[in-house]
């Protein structure tokens, strides 16, 4: 007969529902709740466990009432050779009732302390404490647990020389936003075929002239973004190193994303760093009316996840609302949400960010963002 793990369903922190399943070698899992478990929650958690935890073969859900819990459990548990009850997380009242139920029937009882890496087992009337290696979910797993799917992300590699050049380029862009805009507009206007371009050094559009950015070409080449093949006084021939390099040179805001990614990577503080994380909302791809979003920078330290929205424009209400929506949906309310904005910031929008729990990083704070994040995350864990 199969073995069963009984869990308290946690509506608030979804990941608390899965830690014990990785550690406890059970065939099936039963989630109990006094409140209704939505169909979306059921499907996302069921699919996650069957896909990620190899020994779990079936996942069950029950919304129960306290006055019927004994009869319902007695009937359900007769189908199992062994049963373990976990009272970690979920509803406190339900945890107390399950605790009493387990004691009366000599069912193994345990509770996990995720933050301190401990597990408490109640055996033969005694409480046993042991150290525990609590599993850590990846960014991809955290998104899948909430019904989404990480379609793709970028984790580019750069040499030390390229990193130094990219950081100088970012400092130039942040210090001279109008000049950087002209640079990206020049490359955007230049006709390009398969990341290669042969163009004049002066381009016109809507009555405006855009000039070949000779002064920063060495930074672009040192950064490995493009290769100059031939240059005369009036024309230049060049090739972008990759489609991503082409996008960076032709889009004003991508340099900020890459800069933050490199700062996070250089710090060696985070367990995962990625940029351009494309996420499908329901994990079904492709489909009609598909809903996808891209998160500029995503970082993870242990069980803490950070969503960063990069804006090289003035801060807008739409940017705040989008970040709050995406972060809460894909990473939960405990997600650390940041907007890094190099443009103007209306004080009214700062108040809205405070309401949503969104941290705003201004232009003069960007270079110090990693120490600020470390401090925030350490305080959060403490």
DSSP sequence for 283-319: S--S-TT--EEEEEEEEEETTEEEEEEEESS---HHH
CB-based burial label for 349 (10 Å; 0-12, 13-18, 19+): buried
Q: pLDDT tens, 94-126? A: 999 999 999 888 898 998 888 788 888 887 677
CATH of domain 150-156+253-381: 3.40.1350.10
The CA distance from 277 to 339, in Å, is: 16
Averaged pLDDT, 186-191: 96
Q: Does domain 3-135 have CATH number 3.40.50.10770?
A: yes
Percent of the chain past pLDDT 70, that is, above it, reads 96
Shortest CA distance to 31 belongs to which of 41, 332, 146? 41
Residue range 160-250 forms a domain whose CATH class is mainly alpha
In this predicted structure, the answer to whether residue 285 has a pLDDT above a threshold of 50 is no
**Domain positions in the chain:** 3-135, 150-156+253-381, 160-250
The sign one gets for the Cα dihedral 33, 35, 39, 45 is negative
The predicted structure's pLDDT at residue 290: 47
Q: pLDDT tens, 307-336? A: 999 999 999 999 999 999 889 888 887 899
Residue where the block lists tokens 């020049």 = 186
| β-strand pairing of 118-123 with 126-131 | antiparallel
């Amino acid at each position: 007969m199969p073995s069963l793990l009984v869990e308290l369903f946690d509506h608030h922190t979804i990941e608390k529902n899965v830690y014990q399943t990785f550690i406890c070698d059970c065939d099936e899992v039963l989630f109990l709740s006094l409140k209704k478990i939505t169909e979306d929650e059921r499907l996302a958690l069921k699919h996650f466990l069957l896909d990620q935890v190899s020994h779990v073969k079936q996942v069950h859900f029950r919304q129960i009432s306290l006055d019927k819990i004994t009869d319902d459990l007695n009937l359900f548990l007769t189908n199992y050779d062994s049963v373990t009850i976990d009272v970690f997380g979920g509803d406190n009242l339900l945890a107390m009732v399950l605790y009493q139920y387990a004691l009366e029937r000599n069912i193994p009882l345990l509770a996990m302390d995720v933050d301190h890496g401990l597990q408490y087992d109640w055996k033969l009337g005694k409480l046993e404490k042991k150290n525990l290696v609590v599993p850590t979910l990846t960014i991809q797993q955290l998104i899948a647990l909430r019904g989404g799917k990480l379609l793709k992300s970028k984790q580019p590699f750069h040499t030390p020389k390229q990193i130094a050049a990219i950081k100088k380029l970012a400092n130039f862009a942040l210090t001279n936003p109008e000049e950087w805009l002209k640079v990206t507009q020049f490359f955007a206007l230049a006709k390009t075929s398969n990341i290669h371009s042969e163009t004049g050094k002066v381009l016109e559009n809507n009555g405006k002239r855009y000039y070949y950015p000779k002064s920063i070409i060495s930074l672009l080449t040192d950064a490995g973004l493009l290769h100059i093949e031939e240059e005369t006084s009036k024309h230049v021939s060049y090739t972008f190193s990759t489609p991503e390099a082409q996008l960076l040179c032709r889009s004003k805001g991508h340099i900020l994303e890459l800069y933050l990614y490199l700062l996070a990577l250089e710090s060696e503080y985070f367990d995962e760093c990625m940029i351009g994380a494309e996420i499908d909302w329901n994990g079904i791809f492709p489909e009609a009316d598909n809903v996808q979003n891209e998160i500029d920078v995503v970082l993870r330290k242990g069980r803490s996840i950070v969503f960063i929205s990069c804006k090289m424009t003035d801060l807008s209400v739409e940017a705040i609302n989008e970040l709050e929506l995406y972060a809460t949906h894909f990473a939960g309310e405990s997600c650390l949400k940041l907007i890094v904005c190099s443009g103007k910031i209306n004080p009214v929008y700062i108040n809205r960010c405070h309401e949503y729990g969104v941290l705003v990083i201004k232009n003069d704070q960007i270079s110090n963002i990693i120490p600020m994040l470390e401090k925030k995350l350490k305080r959060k864990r403490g």
